Structure 1
Amino acid sequence: MKSTQRQRKLHRCSGGGSYIKTTTTTVVSTVKLFPPLLTSSQAHRLSSRIGLRLITVQACLLCSSSGDPPSMAVKKPHRSCCSAARFQHRHRYMERKLMIALASKIGINYGRQGKDIPSPYQSINFIKSIKAGHVKLYDADPETLTLLSHTNLYVSITVHNHQITSLGTNQTTAEDWVKTNILPYYPQTQIRFVLVGNEILSVQDRNITANLVPAMRKIVNALRAHGIHNIKVGTPLPMDSLRSTFPPSNSTFREDIAGPLMLPLLKFLNGTNSYFFINLQPYYRWLRNPMNTSLDFALFQGNSTYPDPRTGLVYHNLVDQMLDSVILAMTKLGYPHIRIAISETGWPNSGDIDETGANILNAATYNRNLIKKMTAIPPIGTPARPGLPIPTFVFSLFNENQKSGSGTQRHWGILHPDGTPIYDIDFTGQKPLTGFNPLPKPTNNVPYKGQMWCVPVEGANEAELEEALRMACGRSNTTCAALAPGKECYEPVSIYWHARYAVSSYWAQFRTQNVGCYFNGLAHETTTNPAFLQEMIAASFRALLCDEEQLKDMEDESGRIYAIDTMTDPKAPSLYKVVEPKEISEKTGLAFPHTSHCLASGDMLVSCLGDKEGNAKGNGFLLLDSDFNVKSRWDKPGHAPKFGYDFWYQPRFKTMISTSWGAPKAFSKGFNLQHVADGLYGSHLHIYKWPEGEMKQIIDLGNTGLLPLEIRFLHDPSKDTGYVGSALSSNMIRFFRNSDDTWSHEASGVVISVEPLKVENWILPEMPGLITDFLISLDDRFFYFVNWLHGDIRQYNIEDPKNPVLTGQIWVGGLLQKGSPVKAVREDGTTYQFDVPQIKGKSLRAGPQMIQLSLDGKRLYATNSLFSAWDRQFYPELMDKGSHIIQIDVDTEKGGLSINPDFFVDFGEEPDGPALAHEMRYPGGDCTSDIWI
């Protein structure tokens, strides 16, 4: 009895008494086999595991040339039949061996969409250094393929999507492609896969889709014409090729592609014994549904399981679940045994503010566990295909900063451009997971719930900003209509402000369509609302800025340092000495002295804000001796800060940190936000070696830290952390020392953010708090800060420095107190103001500006004058009525603040007043005295 083509047969195996079901593709006879190599159950397991159709040959197949039944078969087998059988058996054996070799060596995706990607030569050396076994290229670059020759690396090359149509319609084109991209390098370069296109469904081109399988078939024909049989041809597809993926038993391919694309593709892969390549990104699956898919499940942490209710298969990680979704979807189309390979998988090491879980620790955890699973011997496989070897390519070698889309698109790399690891990883899978160095605990594993904005990056020049403006305004939308002449956002007429509006507006309009806040690196996300900044300039401050006569009055700033004798008679202090600005400038080039600290040596260190012309570039630190004589500059040549203001030093950690206000020529004439855009205000912390005066680091606080003014370390000299208050951004930011003696601030940017209030009858629709001062109690339990415009003083418990807790708040002035024309607006449109009490029958003027705390922490004093030019601009009544000092009583046990009704110092009644009181000190020491050692 003969078996015909595609007919299922039972072949009797002599000696073992077992049968092997087969599907044959040639006409053969039922024959007796020699003692079997496999039992039927073993054969079925092998078949399901490796996805190969069993052939009828276990030993040499005894063929009858006449095709007669076994009883009539000739005694000698036909030579050609045996030779063919031996070849086929040998080919299958070698293919199986190669498949296991491919799967046991983890591959790496080598993409090059970045400005800083190293050369192919360097990159290949980096690939060798991480001990990857396979490299996947997104092209067939001649230089790279040449450099990969005579290496131990298996290689995958890619046909570009735009080439598919021509390859699919012309065999000669396919042959030319093989001659150009494979024959010059093979076999010295161990090319193992040709991938036709990459996620072609995202292109949405019907011609490409229709010609995909024909192109693959023609490439195979061209390879075979040259005797090449061990290069497999496939195409990487994304997970969204499936209509559903959970549970895996419910998975099917999308209806629009199941028939037209998937059936021909699966038939081709089955016929050529190739792989179904899938781009697998569990990160996005988890990000879309973190409530139903745990992070541990996505990271192979094994702390949860998901049983499939239909199959009963139990899943311990998201990768297996996604892979089996593909396997079972193929099974439903009649192809249960096609092998599967992961062409891309990984986890982003960073991303946008709202891209939860994109961090270095998660990326390292995912890839380390993935490699451990995929390199296991024997292979682990998946619940639906246990023991299945799965070739896997980690994505990717480098971060690629020229990719578009959200921030994660540019942060999948495992190496920096110089080849140093972003995190340690072992591509062999041999290193124990406990053998890696610990990584910082992430702060973004929970969803970000605040607001975000898109703004241009700092430091971009006009030409670059013009490009960002063109990109945002040139995409057939109404993004930039408000920037037209005469429209509401036309002024100020500035490339910077127009670009700021355009990128923010465009991103807000299209971000749900995966448009990233990037613009070729010219923009980034921020949690600081930029709206009030632009509108402040648009309003021009014309009604509030000082007139020309007032500006002239303020130009004669003294810049003197006055030494006051408070020891001889504390109740009658007297002038001891005056240090003239001319002497300071001539000896040091410095001017505009500000913060002073008395040093253990007896000298005094003074921060200066600029040179005598008011330029910030002349700022630095002035050193006076114990008798207030000018000695020198403290900072070494070339180590001046970008801007000057406050500073604080920590002797135990040999560090001094200074903050940034702005250029004197800008702030001395009132606040104009255009000066921020012009780079005349700062956002940096400057880290110095103490006491050497050498700058060792600069921290850019970005938009979350505009105008960082006051800075404080914790008083405990063993603590290497502290806070800085950024005035314009209205944020409190924690800084700290790292294990390598560098300094950082919180990854999220802030520990406290004072949100701007919606208001009416003011120059802007929103009012920032404007944090102008803060201090820390001597026992490091509380800190206090003021909002000069809102008018409140706040108390926070900082026993956990990373998580301050509000324990007290009191309104003592501000623009929103009852009786003011300015009102705050709730979400429902109703308005409100704050109750501000009188003290001794007098109303409180302006807002709290500088504060001071007694050593016991029970008495907090507040002044209300910031700087005369700014006072005149925001609180003009101070110029007529003067400032004052008030006392706040502090509950140091439970927390809380209350106004002392019996303490009020009115500087409007001074004989030579009205006077503007700014800062105060306790002669016997207070909570801003120099660090106690």
Structure 2
Amino acid sequence: MATTLRPDPTFYPSPRLAMAGPAEQYGYVALLCPDGSRPDAIAVVDFDPASPTYTQEVHRVEMPNTGDELHHFGWNACSSMLGPQSCHPFVQRRYLIVPGLRSSRLHIIDTQPDPAQARIVKTIEADELLSKTGYSRPHTIHCGPEGIYISTLGGAGPDGDEGPAGIFLMDCESLEILGRWEIDRGPQDLHYDFWWHIAHDIAMTSEWCKPPQFENGLVPEALLGNQYGHRIHFWDLSARKHRQVIDLGENHQMALELRPAHDPTRQHGFLGVVVDTTNLAGSIWTWYRDGKEFRIEKTAEIPAQPAAADQLPELLKGFEAVPPLVTDIDLSLDDRYLYVACWGIGQLRQYDVSDPMAPKLNGTIELGGVVNATPHPNGQPFAGGPQMVEISRDGRRVYFTNSLYSSWDDQFYPGGVPGALVKADIAADGTMTLDPDFFVSFGEGYRAHQVRLHGGDCSTESFAYP
């Protein structure tokens, strides 16, 4: 009997078709144990409102070691596999690739046959990663048509600061490391996020810092000396060659999350910048194609929140203000709304970016924050502030957690950041409402970071067709 090969049903050729697909049934949440007394874990949370265990953690995948500091994990395959350049149209969205940012380990988690009972099937140790790539501190996972792309924050050496950080590739089927991605890196040295305009063969990367400037916390002298990253890089994706760098100005410290338009006919996107050292403001920048080159402009600024010194942690007392700390951004699949996490002041902002050069603030949710410590509508405290943001494919639900990075959590929120996951509902007109009945707590001693949705989400998918 003939066998018919069909693409994974969670792959969609266009954003519009992805938005019309089934709603997510499960969420996977990275949990970290900041004191290292227990292993980090991936929690499986029931996201199906019709289920008797809705909003409950139904399973937990513990890592085999302690001290990983799980970070921006992602899928082995996604909708980019349906592009004409894909070599793997029939691979399945099956495995979660989970990086340990402190340990430099990679964990492979299988979500089949039961997505609610995921399990570890492979661990790649730091020495194998370093020997095959020259990199350490794996950070962000993206699935592309050629395989799995993994960004790193460190190079060689015990402190990860010997040589540049960059990207390496894994095979999306064998799950073996293939090697370093860059053929010609040009002036690129620091690294953070990356993504692409896949139909135009263009990649983008951003900058944070080397491990000595983040692993033990924010280094105030380095920040005030404008020593963190402040550039965006553009690359030839298939040739793996650097083609352009734009400096935002050294005062625009920590150029982090990149969110390109999902419509493959468009060549613009958004960059979040954590802090301006001249006024502590956070900002959103829009890049766009201008002939053969790219340009970028600051299109939204979020001011710092004044506060008395006795309301502030030690790190901020001398400033008498809280920077908004734009630590994550996410773009809906219709390219309509950009969600901006302001972890310092406890806000999730929604901008209408129908005109990408003129974002309009459409709504704000207040939750947590250094000064206000706004509780959840159910009355429970929400430590930290909105941090990692994930949007459902249809754009009607926005999930977010509250931990940034363990040592930075301790500096800005010395009272602790117990892990929590919450949800905002988005009406047809874009109105945001925090769901009073959706509050997931992960227990004593754990913090919550990245969220991934079973079946795909807005910060993992890239599409070949408009």
1:743 aligns with 2:294: yes
1:901 aligns with 2:436: yes
1:575 aligns with 2:120: yes
* 8 Å Cα contact 2:184/2:240 also seen in 1: no
Q: 2:423 aligns with which of 887, 892, 914?
A: 887
Q: Quote the Cα distance in structure 2 between the aligned partners of 1:554 and 1:854.
A: 28
Counterpart code for 1:600: P
* 8 Å Cα contact 1:616/1:643 also seen in 2: no
1:915 aligns with 2:466: no
Quick one: structure 1 residues 892 and 774, their matched pair in 2 at CA, closer, same or farther if it must change by over 3 Å?
farther
Gaps of 5+ in 2: 1-33, 35-66, 70-100, 277-281
Task: Give, in angstroms, the shift of residue 653 of structure 1.
Answer: 1.7
Q: 1:591 aligns with which of 115, 133, 136?
A: 136
Q: 2:406 aligns with which of 868, 878, 898?
A: 868
1:687 aligns with 2:234: yes
Structure 1 residues 258-289: Cα deviation after superposition (integer angstroms, max 9, x where no partner): xxxxxxxxxxxxxxxxxxxxxxxxxxxxxxxx
1:734 aligns with 2:286: yes
Q: Secondary structure at the match of 1:645?
A: coil
Q: Quote the Cα distance in structure 1 between the aligned partners of 2:206 and 2:184.
A: 19
Q: Secondary structure at the match of 2:383?
A: coil
Q: Quote the Cα distance in structure 2 between the aligned partners of 1:713 and 1:874.
A: 30
Q: Quote the Cα distance in structure 2 between the aligned partners of 1:855 and 1:572.
A: 23
Q: Secondary structure at the match of 1:731?
A: strand
Moved more, 566-575 or 611-620: 611-620
Structure 1 residues 560-590: Cα deviation after superposition (integer angstroms, max 9, x where no partner): 1111111221011100211211101111110
Q: 2:154 aligns with which of 610, 613, 619?
A: 610
Q: Secondary structure at the match of 1:878?
A: coil
Q: Quote the Cα distance in structure 2 between the aligned partners of 1:704 and 1:666.
A: 16
Q: Secondary structure at the match of 2:116?
A: coil
Counterpart code for 2:331: I
Task: Give, in angstroms, the shift of residue 678 of structure 1.
Answer: 5.5
Q: Secondary structure at the match of 1:775?
A: strand
* 8 Å Cα contact 1:554/1:869 also seen in 2: no
Task: Give, in angstroms, the shift of residue 599 of structure 1.
Answer: 1.4
Q: Which residue of 2 aligns with 1:671?
A: 218
Q: Quote the Cα distance in structure 2 between the aligned partners of 1:783 and 1:816.
A: 25
Query: How is 1:174-253 mapped onto 2 (pairs within 5 angstroms)?
Result: none
Task: Give, in angstroms, the shift of residue 663 of structure 1.
Answer: 0.7
Q: Quote the Cα distance in structure 2 between the aligned partners of 1:610 and 1:838.
A: 37
> Aligned residues: percent identity?
32
Moved more, 632-641 or 795-804: 632-641
Q: Secondary structure at the match of 1:584?
A: helix
1:759 aligns with 2:307: yes
| Structure with the larger helix share | 1
Q: Which residue of 1 aligns with 2:199?
A: 652
* 8 Å Cα contact 1:579/1:628 also seen in 2: no
* 8 Å Cα contact 2:231/2:248 also seen in 1: yes
Q: Quote the Cα distance in structure 1 between the aligned partners of 2:139 and 2:231.
A: 17
* 8 Å Cα contact 1:759/1:766 also seen in 2: yes
* 8 Å Cα contact 1:606/1:621 also seen in 2: yes
Q: Quote the Cα distance in structure 2 between the aligned partners of 1:838 and 1:779.
A: 29
Q: Secondary structure at the match of 1:918?
A: strand
Q: 2:248 aligns with which of 695, 701, 711?
A: 701
Structure 1 residues 709-756: Cα deviation after superposition (integer angstroms, max 9, x where no partner): 1001111111111110001231100111111x211112xxx1110111
Q: 1:850 aligns with which of 377, 388, 393?
A: 388
Quick one: structure 1 residues 724 and 735, their matched pair in 2 at CA, closer, same or farther if it must change by over 3 Å?
same
Q: Quote the Cα distance in structure 2 between the aligned partners of 1:839 and 1:915.
A: 22
Counterpart code for 2:382: L
Structure 1 residues 211-264: Cα deviation after superposition (integer angstroms, max 9, x where no partner): xxxxxxxxxxxxxxxxxxxxxxxxxxxxxxxxxxxxxxxxxxxxxxxxxxxxxx
TM-score of the pair, normalised by structure 1: 0.37
Task: Give, in angstroms, the shift of residue 679 of structure 1.
Answer: 6.1
Counterpart code for 1:708: A
Q: Which residue of 2 aligns with 1:930?
A: 461
Task: Give, in angstroms, the shift of residue 896 of structure 1.
Answer: 2.0
Q: Quote the Cα distance in structure 1 between the aligned partners of 2:140 and 2:327.
A: 14
Structure 1 residues 868-903: Cα deviation after superposition (integer angstroms, max 9, x where no partner): 010111113336xx210000111232x221110111
Query: How is 1:414-493 mapped onto 2 (pairs within 5 angstroms)?
Result: none
* 8 Å Cα contact 2:207/2:232 also seen in 1: yes
Counterpart code for 2:252: G
Q: Which residue of 2 aligns with 1:506?
A: none
Q: Quote the Cα distance in structure 1 between the aligned partners of 2:168 and 2:122.
A: 16
Task: Give, in angstroms, the shift of residue 774 of structure 1.
Answer: 0.7
* 8 Å Cα contact 1:795/1:896 also seen in 2: no
Query: How is 1:755-904 mapped onto 2 (pairs within 5 angstroms)?
Result: 755-760=303-308, 761=310, 762=312, 763=317, 764-817=319-372, 836-878=374-416, 882-893=418-429, 895-904=430-439
Q: Which residue of 2 aligns with 1:823?
A: none
Q: Quote the Cα distance in structure 2 between the aligned partners of 1:731 and 1:638.
A: 27
Q: Secondary structure at the match of 2:449?
A: coil
Q: Quote the Cα distance in structure 2 between the aligned partners of 1:765 and 1:560.
A: 39
TM-score of the pair, normalised by structure 2: 0.72
Quick one: structure 1 residues 582 and 678, their matched pair in 2 at CA, closer, same or farther if it must change by over 3 Å?
farther
Q: Quote the Cα distance in structure 2 between the aligned partners of 1:616 and 1:901.
A: 48
Q: Secondary structure at the match of 2:189?
A: coil
Q: Quote the Cα distance in structure 2 between the aligned partners of 1:608 and 1:584.
A: 11
Q: Secondary structure at the match of 1:917?
A: strand
* 8 Å Cα contact 2:164/2:189 also seen in 1: no
Q: Quote the Cα distance in structure 2 between the aligned partners of 1:579 and 1:707.
A: 29
Task: Give, in angstroms, the shift of residue 757 of structure 1.
Answer: 1.9
Tell me which of the two structures has the higher relative contact order, counting C-alpha pairs closer than 8 angstroms and 6 or more residues apart: 2
Q: Secondary structure at the match of 1:628?
A: coil
Counterpart code for 1:693: R
| Structure with the larger strand share | 2
Q: Which residue of 2 aligns with 1:641?
A: 188
Quick one: structure 1 residues 719 and 930, their matched pair in 2 at CA, closer, same or farther if it must change by over 3 Å?
same
1:624 aligns with 2:176: no
* 8 Å Cα contact 1:616/1:644 also seen in 2: no
Task: Give, in angstroms, the shift of residue 690 of structure 1.
Answer: 1.0
Quick one: structure 1 residues 661 and 574, their matched pair in 2 at CA, closer, same or farther if it must change by over 3 Å?
same
Q: Quote the Cα distance in structure 2 between the aligned partners of 1:608 and 1:861.
A: 25
Quick one: structure 1 residues 855 and 688, their matched pair in 2 at CA, closer, same or farther if it must change by over 3 Å?
same
Counterpart code for 1:566: T
Q: Quote the Cα distance in structure 1 between the aligned partners of 2:321 and 2:410.
A: 20
1:715 aligns with 2:259: no
Structure 1 residues 334-378: Cα deviation after superposition (integer angstroms, max 9, x where no partner): xxxxxxxxxxxxxxxxxxxxxxxxxxxxxxxxxxxxxxxxxxxxx
Q: Quote the Cα distance in structure 2 between the aligned partners of 1:625 and 1:794.
A: 37
| Bigger radius of gyration among the two | 1
Structure 1 residues 149-204: Cα deviation after superposition (integer angstroms, max 9, x where no partner): xxxxxxxxxxxxxxxxxxxxxxxxxxxxxxxxxxxxxxxxxxxxxxxxxxxxxxxx
Gaps of 5+ in 1: 1-545, 547-552, 819-835
* 8 Å Cα contact 1:663/1:680 also seen in 2: no
Q: Secondary structure at the match of 1:571?
A: helix
* 8 Å Cα contact 2:170/2:176 also seen in 1: yes
Quick one: structure 1 residues 738 and 722, their matched pair in 2 at CA, closer, same or farther if it must change by over 3 Å?
same
Structure 1 residues 305-329: Cα deviation after superposition (integer angstroms, max 9, x where no partner): xxxxxxxxxxxxxxxxxxxxxxxxx
Q: Secondary structure at the match of 1:926?
A: coil
* 8 Å Cα contact 2:337/2:350 also seen in 1: yes
Q: Quote the Cα distance in structure 2 between the aligned partners of 1:878 and 1:892.
A: 36
Quick one: structure 1 residues 668 and 585, their matched pair in 2 at CA, closer, same or farther if it must change by over 3 Å?
same
Number of positions where the alignment pairs a residue of Structure 1 with one of Structure 2: 354
Task: Give, in angstroms, the shift of residue 670 of structure 1.
Answer: 0.3
Q: Quote the Cα distance in structure 2 between the aligned partners of 1:666 and 1:726.
A: 17
